[in-house]
Amino acid sequence: MRDTFVDTATALLDDDPRTAVVLADISASAFQPAAHRHPDRVLNVGIREQLMVGVAGGLALTGLRPIVHSYATFVVDRAYEQIKLDIGHQGVGAILVSVGASYDGSTAGRTHMSPGDVALFDTVDGWTVHVPGHAGEVAPLLLAAAAHDEPVYIRLSTQHNAAPRPGTGLQTIKQGQRAAVIAVGPMLDPVLAATEGLDVTVAYTNTPRPFDVRGLRALGHHNVVMVEPYLAGTSSAVLAEALRDVPSRVLNLGVCRTDLHRYGSPKDHARWHGLDAEGLRRSISEFVN
Amino acid sequence: MTVTTATDRLDELLRRITGDEKHAPSAHSTLDVIWVLYDRVLRVGPDRVDDPDRDRFLLSKGHGPAAFYAVLAAKGFIPEEWLDDVAGPTSRLGHHPDRLLVPGVEIGSGSLGHGLGLGVGTALGLRAQGLTNPRVYVLVGDAELDEGSNHEAIAYAGATGLDTITAIVIDNQSTTHGWPGGIASRFHGWSSTTVDGRDHDAIERAVRSHEPGRPHVVVAVVQPKN
């Protein structure tokens, strides 16, 4: 996904003089060819994430469309107040593109993990949040975002599904009776493996914000399982609001809040957080039975 | 406007904001610098608040904006009547300025340490669009410099020679732990001038003394706070 992002952003820099990429050393070498061609629009500020987002706000104030990129924990967690004030409060937009989703950086430890990023975007107004499930979904999302001025967060991951599913609304993957299981981004393949033989609907989205409330209601299920590759329960308020006039049961699955103080692989962390196929099947079966 | 009548006028506008008959305009540490900028330096005006080619003045130190509002009113950016109900429920003017509410205000500020980053981004955005005329002026306070975010912007602008930005530090010696060695020495790679923050001619000379290839900082020293 990161390669696709770099290629797409590089093409945007060539085609659209309004775009600019702002970096804080992360991925700077990948953007070197673009920086050579567009030295005024590929801006690496060094390891200064507050400045990276502040600069994006300033660029947007002059009418440019900044694309800001780093690890999620640095571009979101660390620069949260810049996101809130230098972008949101100024009434401008930017495209933030992260890598290092949740525990992608598991071997680097907790300091490089950011399961809370999407929850943080729920504290500020107006952000679209994309969580692509495959590299093939990245380019259309980024190109669409570059064509307007609203705030957009694109959360790239090394976890991905086998096939791309372009489009941003809720897509029904399979139909069942006992519950609707909503898989966000790279959670789709684990969810499909987990629900094999279970009589449940599975639906997919790569765009949890704004959440496709109409699509959810159209599924017609009152028992809903939300499976998110970030902090468990991030969408609980959104679902409660979406289903407020419907008697419903909701199970929120995702990354636990606990700092496990463990390394290992993303696969290990998926297991520890109950987000591998086996863990998901356990939780979903218990919920529907 | 002569100096005397301008001062009287600002005094009157400030009293309108504060309702305070006792405090002289000198109680406002930023007043002289902001006045000199708007009266003599900035290529801005109420008729060109959206002109891409205008200079940009970013009040980073959003705290205590009375002097800023008074100057904006004196220069016709906002109606004087707005000064009568600052921070009221229907007021466009609050204790920290909001760019979405006030014509001519380039950034909403108040939380310290955001103006220099936004200013660097603004300068870079203008450069990327070939807008070489406008200059970006960012006003910060000496205590505001405690915030680490400023130093990210200062170091980057200095290292890259971003020569279309000018920082003006109002030094009323209000920082808790001081700046041993002086404030200007914190701005590596910048040209600097330290002036009396009440002397209009000296302020103007200092603000105009930027040079190619380097960002510029003016340290404007005023009376210590309290």
Give per-residue pLDDT as tens, A218-262: 999 999 999 999 999 999 999 999 999 999 999 999 999 999 999
Task: Please indicate, yes or no, if residue B11 is contained in any of the structural domains.
Answer: yes
Residue B113 falls in which region: left (phi positive, over 0), alpha (psi -120 to 50) or beta: left
Total domains in the fold of chain B: 1
- Sequence-distant (≥ 6) Cβ neighbours of residue A145 within 8 angstroms: A95, A128, A130, A152, A154
Task: Please indicate, yes or no, if residue B110 is contained in any of the structural domains.
Answer: yes
State the pLDDT confidence band at B5, using cuts at 50, 70 and 90: confident
Asked whether residue B63 carries a pLDDT value surpassing 90, the answer given is: no
Residue corresponding to tokens 């810049």? A82
CATH number at residue B198: 3.40.50.970
Inspect the interface and report whether the beta carbons of A58 and B155 lie closer than 8 Å: no
Q: State the smallest CA–CA distance between residue B129 and chain A in angstroms.
A: 8
- What letter represents residue A253's amino acid? L
* Tokens describing residue B45: 């005006």
- What's the CATH number of domain A2-155, 3.40.50.970, 3.30.830.10, 3.30.1370.60, 3.40.50.150? 3.40.50.970
Task: Please indicate, yes or no, if residue B116 is contained in any of the structural domains.
Answer: yes
Stretch B150-158: mean pLDDT, rounded? 98
**Which residues in chain B have their CB less than 8 angstroms from residue A12's CB?**
none
Task: Please indicate, yes or no, if residue B170 is contained in any of the structural domains.
Answer: yes
Inspect the interface and report whether the beta carbons of B114 and A55 lie closer than 8 Å: no
| Cβ contacts of A142-145, under 8 Å, gap ≥ 24 | A142/A5, A142/A8, A142/A9, A142/A12, A142/A67, A142/A95, A142/A97, A143/A8, A143/A12, A145/A95
Task: Please indicate, yes or no, if residue B114 is contained in any of the structural domains.
Answer: yes
Identify the CATH number of the domain defined by range A171-288.
3.40.50.920
Task: Please indicate, yes or no, if residue B226 is contained in any of the structural domains.
Answer: no
- Name the nearest CA neighbour of A48 among A67, A28, A74, A27: A74
CB contacts < 8 A, A to B, total: 102
List the single residue in B119, B149, B155 with the smallest CB-CB distance to A58.
B119
* Tokens describing residue B210: 């930027």
Inspect the interface and report whether the beta carbons of B121 and A89 lie closer than 8 Å: no
Inspect the interface and report whether the beta carbons of B120 and A54 lie closer than 8 Å: yes
List the domain boundaries for chain A.
2-155, 171-288
What percent of chain B is predicted at pLDDT more than 90? 89
State the pLDDT confidence band at B119, using cuts at 50, 70 and 90: very high
List the single residue in B98, B99, B120 with the smallest CB-CB distance to A58.
B120
Range of the domain at B203: 3-221
Buried b (16+ CB within 10 A) or exposed e, B71-106: bbbbbebbeeebbeebeeeeebbbebbbbeebebbb
Inspect the interface and report whether the beta carbons of A48 and B127 lie closer than 8 Å: no
Asked whether A169 and A212 are in contact (CB, 8 A), the reply is: yes
**Which residues in chain B have their CB less than 8 angstroms from residue A45's CB?**
152, 156
Q: Which residues of chain A have pLDDT under 50?
A: none
**Which residues in chain A have their CB less than 8 angstroms from residue B153's CB?**
51, 54
**Which residues in chain B have their CB less than 8 angstroms from residue A54's CB?**
114, 116-118, 120-121, 149, 152-153
Inspect the interface and report whether the beta carbons of B107 and A64 lie closer than 8 Å: no
- Name the nearest CA neighbour of A170 among A129, A131, A208: A208
What pLDDT shows up at residue B21?
A: 59
